[in-house]
Amino acid sequence: MTATAQVEFSLPDLLRCAGARIVSERRADCPSCRGRRTISYTADVFNCHHAGCGFRGSATTLARDLGLAKRLSAAERRTSARVRAQAQQAAAWLTAELRARRFALYDAHQALLSIVFGASARFRRDMSDEIAWAGLAYAYPQLDSVRAELSVLEAAPIPDRLILLKQSDSHHKEIIRRAIERGGVKDANGRFVEIEVYCPGVFQV
């Protein structure tokens, strides 16, 4: 019976089994060339950077090399293929939805900027121009909100992006309000990403 390998162990566990010493969440000593901290690894793949050392691969290949991969039956293999196909469909749907929303926001951003440009032109003639002030009062809060939403959609972890796409208005507003308040969002690695001001210094009187 042919069988497909499936990994049940984390990559650090597998590296340990292969004789590597884990020195940090991303680094390990190499069991092949004895290099210190020369392996960098993620949840799925590893690579020894030492010149001439070919110790690299994925959790799947390492588990197979170590004889730790579970052998799947034909039925398990079909289930696994179906789950993978569903995950790929979901990922494709998410990518398309996110792209559509981002393009809508870029358009809104452009429209708001033209209001700001228009106001700026009116102010050059008359600083007390009420239409110009009304335009700014309308455009600036919305610009903040559009930029904050774009930064969430571009940088935030997937669950936050999904909430923006799928959830109710109150969740939606809360995520955007928090991003505006903090001036940015945390990405999936916990790194702070500032809200991008796509066209800074547009309005100068």
- Site residues (vs Zn ion, CB under 5 A): 30, 32-33, 35, 48, 50, 53, 55
Contact 8, 67 (CB under 8 A): no
Which of 50, 64 has the CB closer to Zn ion? 50
Which of 48, 119 has the CB closer to Zn ion? 48
**Cα dihedral 17, 19, 21, 24 sign:** negative
Which of 34, 191 has the CB closer to Zn ion? 34
Closest approach of Zn ion to the CB of residue 104, in Å:
49
Structure tokens at 157: 């972890």
Closest approach of Zn ion to the CB of residue 54, in Å:
8
Closest approach of Zn ion to the CB of residue 35, in Å:
5
Contact 164, 101 (CB under 8 A): yes
Which of 47, 120 has the CB closer to Zn ion? 47
Cα–Cα distance, 41 to 24 (Å, whole number): 10
φ and ψ at 103, to 5 degrees? -65, -40
Closest approach of Zn ion to the CB of residue 30, in Å:
3
Cα–Cα distance, 59 to 46 (Å, whole number): 8
